[in-house]
Amino acid sequence: MNILIVVAHPDDEALGGGGFIHRLTKRGHTVDCCILSGSVDARTQRPETAELHEDIQKAQGILGYRNVQLGDFPNIEFNNVSHLKLVQYIEKHIEAFASQAIFTHHPSDLNNDHTQTAHACLAASRLWQRRASVPRLEELYFMEVPSSTEWNFPGHNSNFEANTFVELDQADLEAKIASVQAYRNVMRSAPHPRSRENITALARYRGSQAGYVYAEAFQRVFGGLRLSEASD
């Protein structure tokens, strides 16, 4: 199965689906990743560009995904970017990778770049209906990104609703944590959501909801059958 991860910033893919990506790739499935703001110029404690690219490649090596595409959309300014440009960029990579499923941000994440990414993915998910050469998109899911998704304040649209759980083994969880640690200055000390302790705690909590020791949770927008086959 061909999976496309579409995120706003470097490290979002690791935080939102690192364990799942590792689980899929070690089972022989193909995962590609689009990071729309590859430079994250506005990020606090951002490393030098060469170091950031090293970090991205290190995380890619840990998780095992095939391609990483870095867009040049402005960090924390996606709301000032043409919606059409975001959609077309995502569509280009859906077509190039023959993607069958997309994982992206929840549209009510506190980070506005995440919100704009989610809306653009929803629009791009219809590409196969307009272009006969593109395989039908079978599944679409929202991820939860610690320190953003849980900060959806009351009254700010809908909350993340976990309805799909993917079991993680210890190796998947360790790969997720290692891929986040690959990004300099991203991990924090407990009780921050991006600490080792709380990434593990979230995996335990999501696992407990589904009868697993560890799990990652996603919100299914449509589809669901092929994912369960791919992650078994």
**pLDDT value for 42:** 77
DSSP for residue 131: -
pLDDT of residue 162: 96
pLDDT value at residue 77? 96
Average confidence score pLDDT of the chain: 94
- Omega before residue 10 within 30° of 0, cis: no
**Domains, the chain, ordered by start:** 2-231 (3.40.50.10320)
Please report which confidence band the pLDDT of residue 29 belongs to, taking 50, 70 and 90 as the band edges. Answer: very high
Residue whose entry in the numeric block shows the structure tokens 């979002």: 12
96-130 confidence digits (pLDDT tens): 999 999 999 999 999 999 999 999 999 999 999 88
CB 147 within 8 A of CB 193: yes
Phi, psi at 95, each rounded to 5°: -70, -45
Alpha-carbon torsion angle 38, 40, 41, 44, nearest 10: -150
pLDDT of 138 reads 94
pLDDT band at 228 (very low <50, low <70, confident <90, very high): low
State the Cα–Cα distance between residues 46 and 14, nearest whole angstrom.
Answer: 17
**pLDDT confidence of residue 43:** 82
pLDDT (tens digit per residue) in 12-22: 999 999 999 99
Give CA–CA dist 52/43, Å, rounded: 11
Instruction: Find tokens 């086959």 and name the residue.
Output: 229
Task: Provide the pLDDT for residue 59.
Answer: 98
| Distance separating alpha carbons of residues 169 and 212, to the nearest angstrom | 9
Instruction: Let me know if 44 is exposed, middle or buried by CB neighbors in 10 A (0-12, 13-18, 19+).
Output: exposed
Quick check: 8 and 74 in contact, CB under 8 A? no
Q: For residue 86, what pLDDT band results from cuts at 50, 70 and 90? A: very high
Q: Tens digits of per-residue pLDDT, 185-198?
A: 999 999 999 999 99
pLDDT band at 133 (very low <50, low <70, confident <90, very high): confident
H or E stretch at 2: strand 2-7
Give the H/E segment covering residue 84.
helix 83-97
State the DSSP H helix or E strand holding residue 16, giving kind and residue range, or none if neither.
Answer: helix 12-26
- Cα–Cα distance, 211 to 119 (Å, whole number): 32
- Calculate mean pLDDT across residues 20-38: 97
pLDDT tens readout for residues 46-70:
889 999 999 999 999 999 999 999 9
CB crowding 179-199: b at 16 or more within 10 Å, else e? bbbbbbebbeeeeebbbbebb
215 class by beta-carbon count within 10 Å (0-12 exposed, 13-18 middle, 19+ buried)? buried
Q: Does residue 210 carry a pLDDT above 90?
A: yes
Section 165-175 average pLDDT = 97
pLDDT band at 76 (very low <50, low <70, confident <90, very high): very high
| Rg, Å, the chain Cα set | 16
pLDDT band at 229 (very low <50, low <70, confident <90, very high): low
Instruction: Give the pair of three-digit tokens for residue 148.
Output: 């953003």
